[in-house]
Amino acid sequence: MVLILALLAAIALIWGLTAIVEKFRLGLSLTQAILYAPLKLIYRISDSRIGIATEATAPVIYVVTHQSRLDPALMLSLLPENTLHILDPYSARSLWLEPWRELARTIAFNAEHVFVSRRLVRVLRGKGRLAVYIPAAVEPDTRSFRLYRAVIRIAMQADARIVPIFIGNANLLPFQIDGKSPSPRRWFPRLSMSVLEPMTAEELVARNGSPATRNAHALFDRMAEARLAAIDPALTVFQAVRDAAERFGTGRIAVEDATGSQLSYRALLGGAHILGKRFSALAEPGEAVGIMLPNTNGAVLTLLGLSSAGRTAALINYTAGPANVSAAVGMAVIRTVVSSRTFVEKAALGDIVHSVEEAGAKLVWLEDLQSGITAMDKLAAALLWRYPLGRQDARKPAVILFTSGTEGLPKAAVLSSRNLIANAMQAEARITITTDDVALNVLPMFHSFGLTAGTILPLVAGMRLFLYPSPLHYKLIPQVAWRLKPTVMFGTDTFLAHYARTASEDDFSSLRFVVAGAEAVKPETRRVWRERFDTAIIEGYGLTEAAPVAAVNTAIHNRDGTVGRLLPGMKMRIEPVEGIAEGGRMFLSGPNVMMGYMSADRPGEIQPLPSGWQDTGDIVKVDREGFITITGRAARFAKIAGEMVPLGAIEMLVQSLWPEESHAVVSVPHAKRGERIVLVTTAAAADPESLRKLGKQAGLAELAVPGDIVKVAEIPVLGSGKTDYRATRELAIRHLAAGSAA
């Protein structure tokens, strides 16, 4: 009995001391502090930013992302006592919440009437405070989205500031408001308060300097930013995967490849520990080490091993040709390249290996590194898999990616761990994914889309990842999908169109959606996937320099013909372009935008972006809801007789004429007009008369209609699936010189 009394006295003492500390530290009332203290102790709450909310000048609306039943208790404990809380029916009548409800005024939530009440506007106009709890769905349905509209409307009428609040890791708690959780549940996760600065509705709407929405999207984007701000920006790629292992379960299968090999999170990080020790002996801290591997478990192990060791992974595009590979090795000052003998032999990459060695780099074979593993190595990995081998700094270079070279020579883009993890979390804050999802990634890791969206995102979000080594196996990939039953897939329009031609209706029936990027999705491709597989293609937009995703549609917020809306945390600037009446050239900034370029004339030196803005080179227009339409590339405009002609727009028109074929529109020199337009196509039936009729129907000037047609068996493509316009242009010039154009 004495022991029990002593224990209770100790608990009471700790409780009381914590309450006193929190009262003075956070400016709480004594009752608030007493009720907050046990929550603080149990969930080790990081609450340093809550002062932004409590010190906000009234009138103010606190918009809380409502994930768990615990949220109202926390907010009632922390927000000023004169705040009016609008609670859901459960929270409004739950007995266990009664002590917390006594801390402030509360009213029950009525989705049909509460937000049109003039009372709320009067409360705010009287220098009041309002706490609104909005469902946590990343992609809210129409009914939930009305709440965003209502909050914006009330804020405008009352001239109130809006403070978004997101409770990090609350989604891990076992008491979810919808009875579901996207992650394995934990009783005592560490919680953190993500609170953003107060802004008026007008300030939210005007932030991007574009004709953005005058409705709920402005608030919706701000709430997504609060979700994003809950992520620790100091995590490296290795640390983010390690934290995912601890969150989702170390024994959970993380990755599988086409050989049938499966790795749990523990095995993955243990293998990374073993390889990381080898890499520490091969390269100096911060040094770039090349990776020349297909989509396999070995590639992921190598990537994480380099991150653990504090080395930079340079992903080499082995499909780019010897000259580009040699240039890449020189630009990034790569002394060591990790590859596989089996892969080099099967892919017939002897010329690529020769170019790597000629550029001064040494090939290290993964088979040799794995064959030297000892029992002591395995023991160390089993005990120390959680701990990185080298100094971790998320601000330092993590990977070097080489741009596709669609229109010119490739460049080396340097991305930090902060860029990569931020981009993965930006995508997670916009697209609904869960630990029940199975991701099929056929895109190579040397392509930024295949690396971040196709590999890093599934690993840090707890999705089960299946890696397939080549996107070019058009007949085999549908069979893999039929066996695997993936729910999420990543691809490009070119690849998706090919898979649809060889697949049966059941092959992709398990997919919830396909995320497509790198090139515009053709209407025909979208139609085929909808009709045959009942699968939506979610089109996005990205560039290697943005790690790469910058904008994306979602399953619910989707507008065909656009690339979606800007990701949370990003800013956009549109500059006018001479000769283009609508839209302009897009510049981007954000936490995912790269550190800078490396170039051949200054190898190994990172050249930062001017003022942190990335020139995308894309011509865009933005509608009032923030959906972005790509109208062309600055480099893909031809100037003919003084007129700016968008080659991409012409290409889309030609696609509508022969939808089942592949086309590329390029410009070549012309003695009188400066340039002339050429259609390169696989359509055997393509003829100049049909093009002229199409141009007339579309209202195109005669000079914008392709005057020459080059028919080919295949359009040149890059390893990423994008059209290789540089090679296509050279092909067109050769055909014109030989007189073989129509």
Closest residue by Cα to residue 325 from 366, 302, 347, 357: 357
Residue 636: strand, helix, or coil = helix
Sign, CA dihedral 212-213-217-219, equals positive
**Domain edge (last residue) among 213, 229, 245:** 229
Residue 203 lies in a domain: yes
> Which residue range(s) make up the domain with 8?
1-40
Give residue 212's pLDDT.
44
The owner of tokens 């003075």 is 24
Indicate which CATH number applies to the domain containing 698: 3.30.300.30
| Whole-number pLDDT of residue 112 | 53
Structure-token pair, residue 702: 């005669």
Q: What is the pTM of this model?
A: 0.84
636 within a domain of the structure (yes/no): no
Q: Look at residue 261 and tell me if it is in a domain.
A: yes
Considering the domain architecture, whether residues 319 and 224 belong to the same structural domain is answered as no
Q: Tell me: do 646 and 608 sit in the same domain.
A: no
Active-site residue, from 66, 217, 498, 557: 66
589: CATH: 3.40.50.12780
Mark whether 431 and 528 lie in a shared domain. Answer: yes
Domain end position, chosen among 229, 261, 289? 229
Both 502 and 529 in a single domain?
yes
Q: Three-class SS of residue 106?
A: strand
376 and 520, same structural domain? yes
CATH of the domain at 77: 3.40.1130.10
528 falls within a domain: yes
Backbone angles phi, psi at 458, to 5 degrees: -60, -40
Q: Is 513 in the same domain as 446?
A: yes
The token pair at 602 is 């200054």
310 in any annotated domain: yes
Do residues 217 and 292 both lie within one domain?
Answer: no
- Is there a domain that residue 366 lies in? yes
Specify whether 315 is located in the same domain as 415: yes
- What is the number of alpha carbons within 13 Å of residue 677 lying toward its C-beta? 31
719: in domain:
yes
For residue 700, what pLDDT is reported?
A: 62
Q: Cα-Cα-Cα-Cα dihedral of 291, 295, 299, 300, to 10°?
A: 130
Helix (H, G, I), strand (E, B) or coil at 180: coil
15 and 69, same structural domain?
no
DSSP assignment of 55-73: TSPSSEEEEEEE-BTTHHH
Q: What is the number of structural domains in the chain?
A: 4
Helix then strand then coil, % of the chain, to nearest 5:
40, 25, 35
The pLDDT value recorded for residue 716 is 80
Using alpha carbons only, what angle is made at residue 243 by residues 237 and 244, rounded to the nearest 5 degrees? Answer: 90
Handedness of CA 523, 529, 534, 540 (dihedral sign): negative
Structural domain contains residue 103: yes
Domain boundary residue, one of 612, 631, 650: 631
Same-domain check for residues 157 and 270: no
Same domain as 351, residue 479: yes
Q: Examine the residue annotation and report whether 66 is marked as an active-site residue of this protein.
A: yes
In the predicted model, residues of the chain with pLDDT beneath 70 are 110-117, 178-184, 208-215, 404-410, 579, 633-646, 648-649, 670-675, 694-696, 698-704, 719-721, 737-742
- Give 210: exposed, middle or buried? Use CB within 10 Å, 0-12, 13-18, 19+: buried
The tally of CA atoms less than 13 A away on the side-chain side of residue 353 is: 16
701 beta partners: none
Residues 400 and 257 in one domain: yes
pLDDT of residue 365: 94
CA 170 – CA 241 distance, rounded (Å): 19
Whether 83 and 107 have beta carbons less than 8 Å apart is answered as no
